[in-house]
């Protein structure tokens, strides 16, 4: 995937609006807007309108981002790699990844999106052993996902939906196998405020997005805080979304 900005691979000692909040939507006792519930309702509704969704601009962009992950980190996508696609939506990114890995498990809070994901795998004649999604909310407790650990966890265009990204990242780090990597794709928040204009200028998007993207420094802190090492960050080329020029990025952390 083209990268028109710096490729900053630094090392520290640290859906598309198709995606969902996991965990409880924020700090315990919070009286703030319930983003988790709002996202679940929104994407269950989107799943019912799947015919329209399949024709939307998000589909092409999701496919491009899925291909970008494989192109950027070829060494992580092998015939022995087991993948968790967190906040997987209808499986567009997973479908781009699955030819390059052993298996991929999708997790989403929306039953409608999970159903769409599994229908997509069936339509592509991919067996459930290789590509399958479940509806669950990961909490970081022992025994989740039958105790499975994954060589790779991907989370594409979902972090801006999560109220507590630090807690979410700690949960994702907990399901990584030793030496496994977390790849996060989201919007780069820039000084021009393009992402703020996109998210905060739209009343509907404000209800399901507590964040308007992230900076490289923020992502470093988030991954470092979850105990992940080998931080790397790459900003990809600009994309036009709903009339706004915005940039996706991929951030990487590894369980050491």
Strand-by-strand arrangement of the 248-255 sheet: 7-8, 228-235, 248-255, 176-187, 150-156, 82-86, 103-108, 131-135
Residue 89 in domain: yes
Q: What is the pTM of this model?
A: 0.77
At residue 17 the predicted structure's pLDDT band, cuts being 50, 70 and 90, is: very low
Residue 75 in domain: yes
Residue 1 in domain: no
Residues of the domain holding 180:
7-25+33-255
Residue 156 in domain: yes
Residue 167 in domain: yes
- CATH number, domain of 93, equals 3.40.50.150
Residue 105 in domain: yes
116 closest CA partner among 171, 52, 174: 52
Q: What is the pLDDT of residues 103-136, one digit of tens each?
A: 999 999 989 889 999 999 999 999 999 999 999 9
The confidence score (pLDDT) of residue 225 equals 97
Residue 66 in domain: yes
SS (H, E, C) 35-99: HHHHHHHHHHHHHHCHHHHHCCHHHHHHHHHHHHHHHHCHHHCCCCCEEEEECCCCCHHHHHHHH
**Number of folded domains in the chain?**
1
Residue with more model confidence, 241 or 87: 87
The confidence score (pLDDT) of residue 4 equals 43
The confidence score (pLDDT) of residue 162 equals 86
């Amino acid at each position: 995937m083209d990268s028109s900005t710096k490729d900053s691979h630094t090392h520290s000692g640290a859906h598309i609006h198709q995606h969902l909040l996991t965990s409880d939507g924020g700090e315990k006792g919070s009286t703030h807007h319930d983003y988790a519930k709002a996202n679940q309702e929104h994407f269950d509704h989107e799943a019912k309108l799947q015919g329209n969704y399949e024709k939307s601009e998000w589909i092409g962009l999701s496919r491009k981002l899925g291909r970008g992950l494989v192109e950027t980190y070829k060494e992580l996508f092998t015939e022995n790699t087991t993948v968790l696609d967190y906040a997987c939506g209808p499986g567009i990114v997973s479908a781009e990844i699955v030819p390059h890995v052993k298996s991929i498990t999708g997790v989403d809070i929306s039953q409608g999106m999970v159903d769409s994901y599994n229908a997509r795998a069936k339509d592509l004649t991919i067996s459930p052993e290789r590509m399958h999604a479940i509806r669950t909310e990961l909490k970081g407790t022992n025994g989740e996902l039958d105790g499975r650990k994954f060589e790779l966890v991907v989370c594409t265009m979902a972090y801006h939906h999560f109220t507590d990204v630090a807690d979410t990242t700690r949960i994702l780090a907990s399901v990584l196998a030793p030496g496994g990597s977390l790849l996060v794709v989201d919007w780069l928040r820039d000084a021009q405020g393009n992402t703020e204009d996109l998210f905060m200028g739209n009343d509907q998007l404000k209800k399901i997005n507590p964040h308007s993207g992230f900076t490289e420094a923020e992502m470093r802190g988030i991954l470092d805080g979850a105990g992940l090492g080998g931080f790397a960050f790459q900003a990809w080329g600009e994309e036009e979304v709903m009339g706004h020029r915005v940039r996706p990025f991929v951030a990487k952390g590894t369980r050491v």
